[in-house]
Amino acid sequence: MNSCASPSDNRVDTADLARRIRKDVLRMVHRTRASHVGSCFSMADMMAVLYGRCLRIDPLHPDAADRDRVVVSKGHAAAAVYATLANRGFFPLEWLDHYTENGGLLAGHASHNVPGIELSTGSLGHGLSVGTGMALAARVQQSERRTFVVLSDGECDEGSIWEAALFAGHHGLDNLTVLVDYNKIQSFGRVADILRLEPFADKWRSFGWAVREVDGHDHAALAETLESLPLSAGQPGVLLCHTVKGKGVSFMEDQMVWHYKSPNDEQLAQALRELENAR
Amino acid sequence: MRNAFVDELCRIARERKDVVLLTGDLGFSVLEKFAEEFPERYFNVGIAEQNMAGMAAGLALSGLTVVTYSIANFAIVRCLEQVRNDICYHGGAVIVVSVGTGVAYGSQGYTHHGIEDMAFTRVLPNMAVIAPGDPVETRHGLRALVERGGPGSLRLGRGGEPVLHDPETFRWTFGKAVPLIAPQSVTFLSTGVILGEVLAAADLLQRQGIAAGVLSMPSVEPLDVEAVIAAARHARLLITVEEHVREGGFGGAVAEIVAGLPAPRARLIRTGIARNTAKIVGDQAFLRRTNGIDAASLAALVEGEMAAFVAVENNT
């Protein structure tokens, strides 16, 4: 079993990192009146544990050949990706003040022009194929590096996800780990009402994947799982991370409207207060 | 052309360990050579072109040079957004090989006609679009794309195309036109597998006492702009020929250049496949004929245009 190889002095308090990610995202979407705060919050804990503890990455050398690869396929949650990378030192925090600004680098959907981002995403259903290619490349090149792909639940409607799932399962790519941000809400309603994914774990299993269901907000559970990869030797692994859209701010939690809305001044103040009080 | 492709790919793979081949479950009697010699660098991804294109991007972003292979539209159009976002935008070294483009699979019906792809590919970021005219251009085109790095589309025929260049002496600079018959007052600009028909048309015209120039232009993007400008200044009549719809592809690219030139410049006629006509079944020769891009039709087109020029001159 591989354990996470991040040097211990490179690890951070993931609860604190998650809080900073959420606060930065709030300020970014408030200032720019941007959407997708709910999607950012449901995956903030997954990002904090990945980047705070588990990945073999060096913010000072984001292009190092044998770094772990991360593809955030749900590119609409770019604000959370940028906040994560800035807080881990891939680029200065003040760049976040220029999110979606004219002439800037931080597009509304994740952009590979930003240090630390492997793939520009935003059209759903692309990331798993690219991640599968990255995992296959590691095998061809006999590299120990690992590939992590973060998917939304809604994007599992896309057929290309299952094309990639077939390939990775067939070829037993156990250097590939998917984290599904399973917040149960997609763009225009509840996943269960729009296009049912359940039995979701069974679908992945039947494609040849090892499956683990975890609370996507439980840092200890996430870390324990991510520190004991692969889930099963000879199989790609998927973590179905049960999450809550808008997690961390009471009035945003499990509300589809926060896929679209940005907080007003009063809501921003309350949300920041709630995040601070959760310490 | 398919065999020239796979022979050259094997040669390149012997020289470069970074070359990987993906196929969308096609290539029977073509790709076996590569699969047998380089099993660790050959992957049949199944009938899943979106995944093939996305994976190719992932492999390329990891430092490999990737060739994807399928027929007609499947390699490009089925997965156009993966080609656009994942391959082209990121500039990955992926060469998308389509075999049987144009109407090579004519009687198989419209689903198998690769006749609009260049209208999509030639405007994508970082993308080179190469449509070789014969097996020799195929070898050189593939090698040039590999050496260039970055995304490329290699648009091939089906098999059995005639060799039109001397393989021993042929030299090609990436992006450049290949003059087969020096530009005349009538000059054909040809891309892709239709080149044999164009040379035959020039031969027919020669017998009528009409000298016609022929430029083979395997590189549609980048286009040899200098060659187009020189031909447009020299000729009275430029005729683009492609086994592709007349709009948006090679003829469209040439028209974008010629339209910007000050007079005097050649009159430009674009020939190719007409849109919305694929209702009648026909093989490649039949469809070339009905679309006016077989040798006899091209020669007749030129004769008609020359007669019209003479008539105009006699009236002035």
Domains, chain A, ranges and CATH?
A: 14-277 (3.40.50.970)
pLDDT in tens, A176-212: 999 999 999 999 999 999 999 999 999 999 999 999 9
pLDDT higher than 80, residue B277: no
User: Which residues of chain B are within 8 Å of residue A123 when distances are taken between CB atoms?
Assistant: 81, 85
**Complex prediction ipTM:** 0.95
**Which residue is closest to A143 within chain B, CA to CA?**
B62
Q: Does the CA dihedral B17-B152-B135-B228 come out positive or negative?
A: negative
Output the pLDDT for position B309: 80
Mean pLDDT value of segment A245-260: 94
Output the pLDDT for position A279: 80
Please report which confidence band the pLDDT of residue B243 belongs to, taking 50, 70 and 90 as the band edges: very high
Output the pLDDT for position B316: 64
pLDDT in tens, A74-112: 999 999 999 999 999 999 999 999 999 999 999 999 999
Output the pLDDT for position B307: 87
Query: Rounded to 5 degrees, what are φ and ψ at B238?
Result: -110, 135
Pick from B91, B99, B37: which is nearest to B69 by CA? B99
Mean pLDDT value of segment A220-233: 97
Output the pLDDT for position B214: 98
Measured from the Cβ of residue B225, the count of other Cβ atoms closer than 10 Å reads 14
User: Which residues of chain A are within 8 Å of residue B61 when distances are taken between CB atoms?
Assistant: 118-119, 130, 133-134
Give yes or no for A130 touching B (CB within 8 A): yes
**β strands within B82-161, DSSP E:** 94-99, 128-130, 152-155
Assess contact for A174 and A135: CB atoms under 8 A.
no
Cα gap A22→A44, rounded to integer Å: 7
pLDDT higher than 90, residue B88: yes
Pick from B196, B124, B207: which is nearest to B163 by CA? B196
pLDDT higher than 80, residue A2: no
pTM confidence score: 0.96
Assess contact for B60 and B92: CB atoms under 8 A.
yes
pLDDT in tens, B166-223: 999 999 999 999 999 998 899 999 999 999 999 999 999 999 999 999 999 999 999 9
Output the pLDDT for position B59: 98
Angle at B129 between CA B128 and CA B132, to 5 degrees: 130
pLDDT in tens, A155-166: 999 999 999 999
Output the pLDDT for position A9: 52
Output the pLDDT for position A124: 97
Give yes or no for B21 touching A (CB within 8 A): no
Please answer yes or no on whether A167 and B55 come within 8 Å at the CB atom: yes
Please answer yes or no on whether B82 and A120 come within 8 Å at the CB atom: no
Mean pLDDT value of segment B83-103: 97
Mean pLDDT value of segment B262-276: 94
Assess contact for A110 and A72: CB atoms under 8 A.
yes
